[in-house]
Amino acid sequence: VSAADEAPTPEVATAAVREYFGLAWAPVEHFAQMLVEEGELRGLIGPRELPRLWSRHLVNSAAVAPFLGERAAVADVGSGAGFPGIVLAAVRPDLEMHLVEPMERRIAWLGDVVEELGLDNVVLHHARAEELHKRASFDHVTARAVAAMDKLARWTVPLVRRGGTLVALKGQRASDEVESAKYVLKKLGVVSTSIHDVQPVAHIEATTVVVARKRD
């Protein structure tokens, strides 16, 4: 059996997913195609992720969009393959998206994607989040699968403007993480934290979004 025969079949987007993305469907589908063709090759996603590319990654990334203000400046920390940063840039052209990624090969990939999709609302930062502390601030900071909440807060909350929010995509243990991080969050100036279960598309696993608001 050849390797090609064993390769997992990439997930096909359903009509409901297409409808959910609406006007952003073309760029998001193009991004998905790039991930199918090059994602594994370039060490961005594992082969097991392709059969759930839409349900697990792309729809999940877009779930953050309603938590971001209009025409906001947003930093996506640890953008990696482009979740949620690239998806948010496509879904919300009004946002000024800053993708923060320390790994050179991932930054090279993100640059290729931005150019290929013609996204003119994206700025790339080849840096670790801590390197931007005191140098940059944003209305919102997003992060997905980067670190546990206490560590994530130390990296990201200093980048959030007063009155702004950290919007983190989290797993099943979100409330435990928030509880463990409560003193760190308070120390960093977070005044409220809310946990939202979001199911953007029916029959697709819900996404947990944690919103931590910084004092005004």
pLDDT for the residue numbered 9: 87
The model carries a pTM of 0.94
Is the confidence at residue 141, as pLDDT, over 80? yes
Is the confidence at residue 5, as pLDDT, over 80? no
| pLDDT bucket at 4, cuts 50 / 70 / 90 | very low
| pLDDT bucket at 6, cuts 50 / 70 / 90 | low
Q: CA 86, 89, 91: angle at the middle one, nearest 5?
A: 105
pLDDT for the residue numbered 144: 94
Residue 97 CA: distances (Å) to CA of 18, 110, 120 = 23, 12, 9
Terminal Cα distance for the chain, rounded: 61
Is the confidence at residue 3, as pLDDT, over 90? no
Q: Which domains does the chain have, with CATH numbers?
A: 15-214 (3.40.50.150)
- Biggest alpha carbon–alpha carbon distance for the chain: 61
pLDDT for the residue numbered 8: 77
List of residues 6+ apart from 75 with CB closer than 8 A: 98, 99, 100, 125, 129, 132, 136, 138, 140, 141, 142, 156, 159
Q: CA 90, 95, 100: angle at the middle one, nearest 5?
A: 80
Share of the chain above pLDDT 90, in %: 87
Q: CA 179, 180, 183: angle at the middle one, nearest 5?
A: 90
Under 8 Å between Cβ of 107 and 101? yes
pLDDT for the residue numbered 146: 84
Q: What is the pLDDT of residues 160-208, one digit of tens each?
A: 999 999 999 999 899 999 999 999 999 999 999 999 999 999 889 899 9
| pLDDT bucket at 145, cuts 50 / 70 / 90 | confident
pLDDT for the residue numbered 64: 96
Q: What is the pLDDT of residues 40-54, one digit of tens each?
A: 999 999 988 999 999
- Kindly tell me the burial class for residue 143, based on how many C-beta atoms sit within 10 Å of its own C-beta (0-12, 13-18, 19 or more): buried
* CA pair distance 99, 61, nearest whole angstrom: 14
